[in-house]
Structure 1
Amino acid sequence: MSQANPAQSDSVLADLLDLERLEENLYRGQSPVTTWQRVFGGQVVAQSLVAAQRTVPPGRFVHSLHGYFMRPGDTKVPIVFQVERLRDGRSFSTRNVRAIQHGEPIFIMAASFQIEEEGFEHQDVMPDVPPPEELVASDIMNDAEHAPAPIRNYWKRERPIELRPVDLDQFLWRKKRSPRQSIWIRGNGVPPKGRAYQTAFLSYMSDMTLLDTTLYPHESSVFSDGIQGASLDHAVWFHRPFDISDWLLYVHESPSANGARGLAYGKIFARDGTLVASVAQEGLIRLNENVRPFYE
């Protein structure tokens, strides 16, 4: 994390990611008060990264993380993060993190850090979409009034992340669509400065809305009573720094769903078109009995 004190920031997310140090390589994090029955996966990913960052030599920045969700997180108790220092080489450092509750791991993650180096450069081109200023947030709230109860409840509660979908009909699962979507995302409040918080923020938001894309062709949602949905694994590759106070475009695509699992890829662009990160996730999308289309 940045050396800036998150308590001096207006960012709710910054406070959430400010872990308490218990002992060498051992940290404790909290969960926000919420009506959700389990901890949001992006929170555990981001807090695990923060724990790992605090054990890495200065001047080394995360370039990738790979994690598996083992058990649902309990929002009522703290999470303990145990860091294992696997390697510190001349250019790279590797860390393993176990997020623990009730004596059992709920998430395990490996993360790799690198000194800054120069080399070959190329990247994908950002899709041509309307800017976030043309996608008024209040429209989402108004349209969500006609959405199912889980959607309405989600949009009415306070969140550390603001979303502006490029295609609102797609986002609200109104009709059968292709397994693709694009969403502008930014944090609420004034974030702390520094690359460490920047990557932790991106890790948090990278788990939002990604699994939804696997269900668009099937006229369903992770909010549906007919779907048992959960993230199974999560990977992020960090390519370039970005301005954390501005909007990011999160582009999703799902190439496959099979065996009660859905696979989704994500690309995260800065407003100026810079590709800042890539994401991959497989999730459980188990069909329960008597499932019906989401808007039936």
Structure 2
Amino acid sequence: MTTVNQLIDLIKLGKTGDTTFVGNSVTIGSPHVFGGQVLAQAINAASRTDVKDRILHSMHAYFLEAGDLTKPIEYNVSIVRDGGSFSVRRVTAAQEGTTIFILSASFHKEEEGYNHQIEMPKGIKQPEELLSWTDMLNQFGDAIPSRTKSFIEVERPIEFKPVEVVNPFNKEDLPSFTHVWFKLNGDASSLDHATKQQILTYISDYNILAAAMNRHASKAHYGNTQTASLDHSMWYFRDFDFNDWMLYSIESPNTSNARGFARGNIFTRDGKLVASVTQEGLMRPIKKK
């Protein structure tokens, strides 16, 4: 999967009934279904149950079981409420009768109101000044740890350019934040608002727990720590254009009890706040036997 059109084909589900859908999976380099894929597919299912032209403004989800890449995922949508301004949907995802994921999504009609936002972080290097994951692989492939190398070798429909590059051989704790520029591969000029939100949801599950790992980089890495997304919430504020680079600004306020918490804001290059994200993930040290 290398282009935005292939990503859209993955996210857009087959319809099996009025409120039931089915989808397949594509690996991003991990042995289980990528959480961002399930999030995006569930939003796709919810948005196709006549939400009365309302726009997705928030979603909250829990990952219950690791998804099997080889099996289809069945999505069942419950129509919870259609009010005067808001529509709420609940989505359950299952494989062979086992529920692996649940999500609630709320859609809101367009209304006039007050408007403000936080500023985009200042002093951030522009994407033209940075190396992408592909650039790093080409330039430093032999020096990259095998686990990380196998992950970034997977072809993706998104290009990522981290602002802060972590050297895995420097065993020192780092600030609990990270900034990553991202851009879609392919022409995204004709995407409708709902499709853009689904793609942004897919992308939002990338990189977010890295901020929590950074704070413990002197001893924790993906080779000795079991990680998994536990829950994920997202709020969608403004429409945007996917044809330019966007910035994912992430910080981690807390890690405790084998869990890491992170929150992020997604900005357009010119500083418009598009969405905010929170996630708590498993960060369990692997004990040597």
Pairwise same-fold verdict (TM > 0.5): yes
Q: 1:153 is matched by which residue type in structure 2? A: S
Aligned match for 1:275, one of 254, 273, 276: 273
> What secondary structure, in the 3-state scheme, does the structure 2 residue paired with 1:23 have?
coil
**Cα separation, 1, equivalents of 2:220 and 2:81:** 38
Scaled by the length of structure 1, what TM-score is found? 0.90
| Equivalent in the alignment of 1:216 | 214
1:22 corresponding residue in structure 2: 16
1:132 maps to which residue? Answer: 127
Would the aligned equivalents of 1:66 and 1:234 in 2 still touch at CA under 8 Å? yes
- CA RMSD, 1 decimal: 1.9
Query: Which secondary structure state, in structure 1, belongs to the residue aligned with residue 16 of structure 2?
Result: strand
2:153 equivalent in structure 1: 156
Gap change, CA 1:108 and 1:223, over 3 Å in 2: farther
From 255, 258, 261, the equivalent of 1:257 is 255
Q: What stretches of structure 2 of length at least 5 have no aligned partner?
A: none
Alignment length, in residue pairs?
Answer: 282
Q: Which amino acid aligns with 1:152?
A: K
User: What's the offset of the Cα at 1:104?
Assistant: 1.1
Matching of residues 180-259 of structure 1 within 5 Å = 180-191=177-188, 192-219=190-217, 224-259=222-257
SS of residue paired to 1:117: coil
Does the 8 A contact of 1:222 with 1:285 survive in 2?
no
Deviates more, 1:110-119 or 1:137-146: 137-146
In 1, Cα distance between equivalents of 2:169 and 2:49:
42
Looking at structure 2, the residues matched to 116 and 85 of structure 1 have their Cα atoms a distance apart, in angstroms, of: 20
CA displacement 1:249-289 (0-9 Å, x = unmatched): 00010000000001000000011100000000000000111
Does the C-alpha gap of structure 1 residues 34 and 249 become closer, same or farther in structure 2, counting only changes over 3 Å?
A: closer
Change (3 A) 1:261 1:177: same
Note if contact 1:39-1:72 (Cα within 8 Å) is conserved in structure 2: yes
Structure 1: unaligned runs, 5 residues or longer: 1-8, 292-296
Change (3 A) 1:159 1:84: same
TM-score (norm 2): 0.92
Q: How does 1:87-98 map to 2 (within 5 A)?
A: 87-98=81-92
Aligned residue runs from structure 1 range 36-185, under 5 A: 36-128=30-122, 129-137=124-132, 138-141=134-137, 142-169=139-166, 174=170, 175-185=172-182
Report the residue type matching 1:145 in the other structure.
Answer: D
The answer to whether the 8 A contact 2:64-2:101 is kept is yes
Once structures 1 and 2 are overlaid, which stretch shifts more, 84-93 or 26-35? 26-35
Moved more, 38-47 or 129-138: 129-138
Change (3 A) 1:82 1:13: same
Equivalent-residue separation in structure 2 for 1:253 and 1:211 (angstroms)? 9
Shift of 1:15: 1.2
